Amino acid sequence: MYTDSISTTNWQGVIGLEIHSQSLVNSKLFSAAGTRFGAPVNSQVSHFDSSLPGTLPVINRGCVEAAVVAALALNCHINMVSKFDRKHYFYADLPAGYQITQHRQPIAVNGYLKYTSLQSAKGNQRPVKKMAKILQIQLEQDSGKSLHDDELRRSLIDLNRAGVGLMEIVTAPDFSTGTEAAAFIKELLLILQTIKVCDGKMSEGSLRVDANVSVHHPGQPLGVRTEVKNLNSITGVTKAIDFEIKRQISELEKGNEIFNETKSFDYVTGKTVTMRDKERLQDYRFMPEPNLLPLRLYTNDTLPTGLSDDQIVNVDKLRDSLPLLPAQKRQAVQDKYGLSYNQAQFLVGEEGLLEYFTDVVEETNRDPLLTYNLLANQVLMYLNREDISIHNSPVCSKRLKELVVLLSHKTISLNTAKKVLEVMFEGDTRLPPDIVEHHNWKQITDPDKIEEYCLDAITKNHKLVSLYKGGKKKVFQNLVGQVHKMAYGRAEPNLVNEILKKKLDQM
Amino acid sequence: MQNLKEVLNQLKTNHLSAEALCEQCIQRLRKTQDLNAYVSVSDSKARRQAQKAQQIYNSGKNIRKLEGIPIAVKDNYSTTDIQTSCASHMLLGYHPPYNATVVQRLLDQGAILMGKTNMDEFAMGSGSVNSIFGPVKNPWKYPFNKKTQNNQSSDYDVRAASNKKTSMDYSANPSKNDSNQETQYVTETDHVTESDQSQAWYVSGGSSGGSAVAVATASCLVALGSDTGGSVRNPASYCGVVGYKPTYGLVSRHGLIPLVNSMDVPGILSKTVDDTAAVLDVIAGHDELDSTTVTDPRVPFNLPDVSRIDIKSFHIGIPKEYHVPTLPGETRQTWQRAADIFENAGAKVSQVSLPHMQYSIVCYSVLNACEVASNMACYDGIEFGHRASTSDSTEALYASTRHQGFNEVVRGRILAGNYFLLKRNYDKYFLQAQRVRRLISQDFANIFKEGIDVLLTPTTLSDAMSYTDYISEDNRTRCEKEDLFTQPVNMAGLPAINIPMEISTSGLPVGLQLIGQSFKDKRLLTISKWFEHQVNFPYSDLVNSIE
């Protein structure tokens, strides 16, 4: 058992996350105003968004459907009746003086998400399967933005974002490191993108993370927590949480107290910074939103009469239209193509990649591993270096497919394939067979021809040959290299090995 | 007396021109301007509209349901480019960029807007005495003859000019378009000091006092009020007009500046029940901008002829809890006479019980304060309305904006509401009040389940009070007494109506309240129409005193 004496080795971080995901719907949660990112300041604002007196909220069906689909994907219990509440606080970019949210009866509760976190063990990173509980999913409004002009001592308000629909996903405190939390966010992001409810652009604020962080000794009560708000990148999540854990441990070890406070993360210094105190002592004076009826969802069994399909949200219908989720896709890739978990994760982990891969493999009907290697090690390496998305790849799936066919027919060697890719990256728009033809890169598979090269190499490399014959078998590879050099890299490697060995042994 | 249907008939048959009708109303408005019923008058625009209406009548084509009918609208309905102030400094000079749904529906049917009517600030009051424009005065027993000498039409322009001078900075107004065709009255001090304190005049009731007076004095045919705890029925009772509060959800609140969202209902003031039905027919029904409105298909509200109303088929309930100890004998007698009228005509009349009614007013004040605290949070001086000139900090700006913009009544309710909503108080006050609210609704439901069609009660404890008596008690105490008989209806969302019955011994109107079942508005109006024909309220007494 642990005692009160501080053990410097046994601290454990405890992290719970609140994720705000902007719904990928082109109007706001309660108004018809647009939601375009980067639109001119205050151009996406309805009378309701600026809280003109007498305006009333009208729920956006698209946002409700997005939340239901997310709830289904996150294995949640869906509340067939949910309610809206007002959360009061004064802030210049919150025109109504309150935010409409779902405090008491959210749209979904009690879900979970399985994810894989990489853990370092003996210098290697190995995937560890984890699960985090989802406490609830609620619909709520985003706030506007305040811009502070220090020089002219004034604040400017942009209400474009005010009232945009958010889904707040709240997890249990199921994480112990920043890496774990980040791995969860990555998986969540992938799911939300797959089900098309969030564009996943963290840098544009489409997905923002608040982390509640505390530390304790395992087996003892949880420590006082701090909240790090508005993390808008995966690295931010990792770094902010890990910094905060270290900071808290170091404070506690110095005998200091941790205060329940709100912090922000400074990306430049890599440190968490305390925000204004007023954030700490808020009483939000929650109250039911009187202008919205309880939000009712239906199933095939409870469909109301007299209401048309576009007036209701049918959970069963949405469940049926759910696409394959990342976990299912990964399993399918592993089963069907015999790839490893990590390889499957790689293909599923980036939007569009799996489709590209499948295009190539299904068409060629062979060699998924070869295709994977080309894609992961050659094509993606190039795309990442040049910051190009897979959709805009200069080597489209059709051209890669042609390349794989050439390889599997042994028309070219792997080295040649790499050269063909280079040529295509550099702007050659022809199909691989034409490129191979043009450069005369076809592999030499005629045994007589290869025998010629072998004999030639033997004649020209007396020293190596006598070393080999004298028992230094290692020099065989040097001789192979000589053969390839003479054949300009086009000789089929297996044949070269075979024939060269035979010739040497015959001597 | 002419009702809406007759006026429309005369317009159609060319016995009356829309312009003459409009002019009559403008003249009555001028004659009675001391009553302070209007806060802004759009007479020039009204005249132009009347001209257009006449052209339509002349052409005989596309005549709409309310073509050329002069109406007035309470100043808490948003009206495009016409100041919508809620009788508060907070919204003085605020010109909404949109029309409230009900206003739009009336205008779409050809109604002519005479102006916006006076009220208690943000509808918080039952006397129409807490307005930055000064109190509204009851036309009954008002000494018109002495006043009209000093206040001819020139007075109008002086007031309009004084409108512009104000010590406050309204830089945050969304619209700078101060239409010069609009006449806006201003500043309470002028109004009160002039004569009001010294004169014995009676309060109009409230908070829709301006609309009630406008209808009573015939400066319009019908008017819109709003009813949260009795704000339409109360002034209707004191001014001797029909005041109708529809079922919650039957009429859109979009554009009505909220007091208590869960109880606010647009209401109608008129001289006859048929007029109210005609207006309801235009404004009722689903509005996609108000999610709390009914989605059921619309039914017309035209009422049968009196002769065809079978009063014997009605069952009237008399709730015994309305026999409060403070009920004056005269009111009790009037109430008894009304019950007798029904009984003598063959209706079944039974005593019924609303066991939780006595707790209603307390819970009403808690819920009222809570929603007020929340609804008033948007008045921060940032997007619209008054903004203080402080620039020390955002918090300081809020504080002084709200201190300058709201009167003490509003600030008091905000404070109370925020207190009730604190985490530690929420259950004790807000939730408890909501629980009792459900019990009250249940009380009504139980009665109606037993076969009662409508309840008959007094609308107010007595007839109108003199201004001096009225202001001897504070707003909160007054509201608790004034709203006693009306607010349980709002707690339950039911339809209810004030029907003027007779003139009291002190020469003031007395009204009775009929309460109907949820969404059975037509049935309530039908029996109200029958009752109205039995009592035959002497409207002409007032008209004679003005003319």
Percent of chain B with pLDDT over 90: 83
Select the residue from A87, A285, A292 to test the B interface by mutation, using most B Cβ atoms within 10 A: A285
Please indicate whether residue B415 or residue A275 has the higher confidence score (pLDDT).
B415
Of the listed ranges A308-322, B252-266, B327-341, the one predicted with least confidence: A308-322
Spatial separation of the C-alpha atoms in residues A450 and A492, rounded to whole Å:
8
- Token pair listed for B376: 């008033």
- Token pair listed for A296: 């009712």
Out of A97, A155, A293, name the one closest to residue B291 (CB). Answer: A293
Specify which residues B510 forms β-bridges with: B502
Q: Which long-range contacts (CB under 8 A, 24 or more apart) does B306-311 make?
A: B306/B529, B306/B530, B306/B533, B309/B526, B309/B527, B309/B529, B309/B530, B311/B342, B311/B345, B311/B346, B311/B347, B311/B527, B311/B530
Which 3 state secondary structure label does DSSP give A156?
A: strand
pLDDT at residue A232, rounded to an integer? 93
Question: One-letter amino acid identity for B367?
Answer: L
Q: What is the pLDDT of residues B416-457, one digit of tens each?
A: 999 999 999 999 999 999 999 999 999 999 999 999 999 999
pLDDT at residue B154, rounded to an integer? 33
Measured in angstroms, the CA of A146 and the nearest CA of chain B are apart by 11
Q: Which long-range contacts (CB under 8 A, 24 or more apart) does A475-480 make?
A: A476/A500, A476/A501, A476/A504, A479/A504
Give contacts of A51 with chain B, Cβ < 8 Å: 378, 383
Q: Find, in chain A, the residue whose alpha carbon is nearest to that of B378.
A: A96
Average pLDDT, chain A: 90
Give contacts of A155 with chain B, Cβ < 8 Å: 394
Instruction: Answer whether residue B216 shows pLDDT above 80.
Output: yes
Of A421, A338, A395, which Cα lies nearest the Cα of A372? A338
Of the listed ranges A295-299, A374-378, B540-544, the one predicted with least confidence: B540-544
Spatial separation of the C-alpha atoms in residues B416 and B372, rounded to whole Å:
9
Of the listed ranges A420-424, B159-163, B234-238, B511-515, the one predicted with least confidence: B159-163
Give contacts of B290 with chain A, Cβ < 8 Å: 56, 291
Of the listed ranges A473-477, B360-364, B376-380, the one predicted with least confidence: A473-477
Q: pLDDT-derived band of residue A276, with 50, 70 and 90 as boundaries?
A: low
Over range A64-92, report the average pLDDT: 96
Select the residue from B90, B226, B289, B370 to test the A interface by mutation, using most A Cβ atoms within 10 A: B289
Interface touch B418/A285, C-beta < 8 Å: yes
Question: One-letter amino acid identity for B8?
Answer: L
Interface touch A285/B255, C-beta < 8 Å: no
Spatial separation of the C-alpha atoms in residues B270 and B282, rounded to whole Å:
14
pLDDT at residue B158, rounded to an integer? 31
Q: pLDDT-derived band of residue A37, with 50, 70 and 90 as boundaries?
A: confident
pLDDT at residue B148, rounded to an integer? 46
Which residue blocks in B181-328 are alpha helix, DSSP H?
Answer: 188-191, 209-216, 233-239, 273-283
Over range A159-164, report the average pLDDT: 95
Q: Find, in chain A, the residue whose alpha carbon is nearest to that of B262.
A: A290
Measured in angstroms, the CA of A318 and the nearest CA of chain B are apart by 24
Interface touch B398/A90, C-beta < 8 Å: yes
Q: pLDDT-derived band of residue A8, with 50, 70 and 90 as boundaries?
A: low
Interface touch A293/B253, C-beta < 8 Å: no
Is A42 part of the contact surface with chain B (CB cutoff 8 Å)?
A: no
Catalytic residue IDs of B: 74, 207, 231
Interface touch A54/B374, C-beta < 8 Å: no
Spatial separation of the C-alpha atoms in residues B152 and A374, rounded to whole Å:
95
pLDDT at residue B326, rounded to an integer? 94
Interface touch A293/B292, C-beta < 8 Å: yes
Give contacts of A153 with chain B, Cβ < 8 Å: 391
Across the A:B interface, residue pairs with CB atoms under 8 Å apart total 106
Interface touch A88/B377, C-beta < 8 Å: yes
Q: What is the pLDDT of residues B370-381, one digit of tens each?
A: 999 999 999 999
pLDDT at residue B152, rounded to an integer? 39
Chain-centre distance of CA B98, in angstroms? 21
Pairing assessment for the beta strands B183-184 and A154-158 based on DSSP bridges: unpaired
Instruction: Count the Cβ atoms, other than its own, within 10 Å of residue B297.
Output: 8
Interface touch B382/A157, C-beta < 8 Å: yes
Q: pLDDT-derived band of residue A206, with 50, 70 and 90 as boundaries?
A: very high
Of A271-285, A370-384, B317-331, give the range with the top mean pLDDT.
Answer: B317-331
Interface touch B421/A58, C-beta < 8 Å: no
Q: Which long-range contacts (CB under 8 A, 24 or more apart) does B306-310 make?
A: B306/B529, B306/B530, B306/B533, B309/B526, B309/B527, B309/B529, B309/B530
Out of A96, A155, A291, name the one closest to residue B377 (CB). Answer: A96
Dihedral angle at the C-alpha atoms of B193, B199, B204, B207, nearest 10 degrees?
20
Is A53 part of the contact surface with chain B (CB cutoff 8 Å)?
A: yes
Spatial separation of the C-alpha atoms in residues A35 and A215, rounded to whole Å:
39
Which 3 state secondary structure label does DSSP give B394?
A: helix
Give contacts of B97 with chain A, Cβ < 8 Å: 47, 52
Instruction: Answer whether residue A241 shows pLDDT above 60.
Output: yes
Q: What is the pLDDT of residues B19-74, one digit of tens each?
A: 999 999 999 999 999 999 999 999 999 999 999 999 999 999 999 999 999 999 99
Cβ contact B38:B214 at 8 Å: yes
Q: Find, in chain A, the residue whose alpha carbon is nearest to that of B77.
A: A54
* DSSP-derived secondary structure for A410-444: TSS-HHHHHHHHHHHHTT--S-HHHHHHHHT-PPB
Instruction: Answer whether residue A6 shows pLDDT above 60.
Output: no
Interface touch B261/A291, C-beta < 8 Å: yes
Residues 106-125 on A with a CB inside 8 Å of B are none
Q: pLDDT-derived band of residue B328, with 50, 70 and 90 as boundaries?
A: very high
Is A32 part of the contact surface with chain B (CB cutoff 8 Å)?
A: no
Of A92, A98, A153, which Cα lies nearest the Cα of B382? A92
Instruction: Answer whether residue A476 shows pLDDT above 70.
Output: yes
Q: What is the pLDDT of residues B89-102, one digit of tens each?
A: 999 999 999 999 99
Average pLDDT, chain B: 90
